[in-house]
Amino acid sequence: MRIIYRGVEISVVEGDITAQVVDAIVNPANRRLVMGGGVAGAIRRAVGEEIEREAVSKGPIEIGEAVATTAGRLPARYVVHAPTVRSPGGRASLSSARAATRAALRLADELNLESIAFPGMGTGVGGLRISEAARAMADEVRRFIDGGTGLKRIVFVAYGEGAFREFREAVRRVFG
């Protein structure tokens, strides 16, 4: 699924976030930036332990902040780490998913990036329902674009058919 909103391409794809050809992928992190399970674990397995060392050296950070690391062997240039939980294995809230989404978008603009890919922020290990997180994320993306951005492409990467349907529906409702 692909739409254009105010000159920004917004798409929903099903797949692996580590395979996305974008300037940055987002890691829904914990405050300490330790990369254990979920998306963080998949990124660490794809890149190697050095990404976790680099991330941890930039922490801890608060929910609502974000930092970037190199992306190693990934097709992306950066990994943007934006906490949705306080500690590894913690529970996310819709407000933390929103704050992490905003922080990642702000950092992407600060880095003059043109494209960024998001997984479900706060879903999986964080415990949020994909339908709720997808709607909150789409809302934040729309608000961010409405405020002006240099981003040209924002990708929501769904892991599995069910998540793909939820993200597609959220984007339709918010940008419809």
What residue segments make up the domains of the chain, in order of their start?
A: 2-175
Alpha-carbon gap, residue 23 to 43, rounded angstroms: 15
Mean pLDDT over each residue of the chain, to the nearest integer: 97
Task: Kindly report, residue by residue over 2-24, the tens digit of the pLDDT.
Answer: 999 999 999 999 999 999 999 99
Task: Kindly report, residue by residue over 110-150, the tens digit of the pLDDT.
Answer: 999 999 999 999 999 899 999 999 999 999 999 999 999 99
Got the DSSP string for 19-33?
A: G--SSEEEEEEETT-
So what CATH class is 2-175?
alpha beta
Q: Which amino acid is at 77?
A: R
Q: Which element (helix H / strand E) includes 146?
A: helix 130-146
**Position 44 pLDDT exceeds 90:** yes
